[in-house]
Structure 1
Amino acid sequence: MNVLLLAANRQSFSNVEAIGLNLKQELPDLNLYFLNTQELYKQYYALDHQITPLQISLKKKTTSSFYLSGWLGKIRMVLATRSAIKKTPNIFDVVIAGDLGVLEYLAISSIQRDSQVYFIQDAILLWKEKRDLKKKIRHVLYGFKSRFSKCDLLFCSGEVTRKNLISSGAEPTRTFAVGIPRFDEVKYSSKKPKGSYTLLVIGEAYSWHGLSELEEKQNAFFEFIDEWGRNNDVNILVRKHPRDFNEYDYKSIQFIDGTKESLQESIAKCNVTLSYALPSTVMFEIVKDRIPVLYIKDKDVDYRKMECNEIFFDLFYWIDDYNSLNFSHIQKALEFRYKEKNIEQFISVQDSSHNIINKIINDIASRNE
Structure 2
Amino acid sequence: MAALKRGPGSEQRDAPVVPVGDGGEAQDVKMAVYTHGQLIPSLVGGKFRIPMVTEIIKKKIEDLRKDKTLNIPGTLSFGATAGISGIIANCIFRLCFKVKYEAFKTYASLTTLPFLSTIVTYKLFVTDALQSGNISKENCVLRSLLTAAVCGVLYPSALAFYKNGCLAVKPKMENHKASTVKENILFDIITRKISQLPESDRNLLEHGSLYIGLNAGFSGLIANSLFRRTLHVTQARIAAGLPMAVLPFLTANVSYYTFVSLPLSAGDLNCETCTVTRAGLAGFVLGGLYPILLAIPVNGGLAVRYQTTPLPQRGNILNYWIRVSKPVFRKMLFPIILQTVFAAYLGSRQYKLLIKALQLPEPGLEMP
Alignment TM class, shorter chain as reference: under 0.3
Structure holding more helix per residue:
2
TM-score, normalization by structure 1: 0.23
Q: Which has the larger radius of gyration?
A: 2
TM-score, normalization by structure 2: 0.23
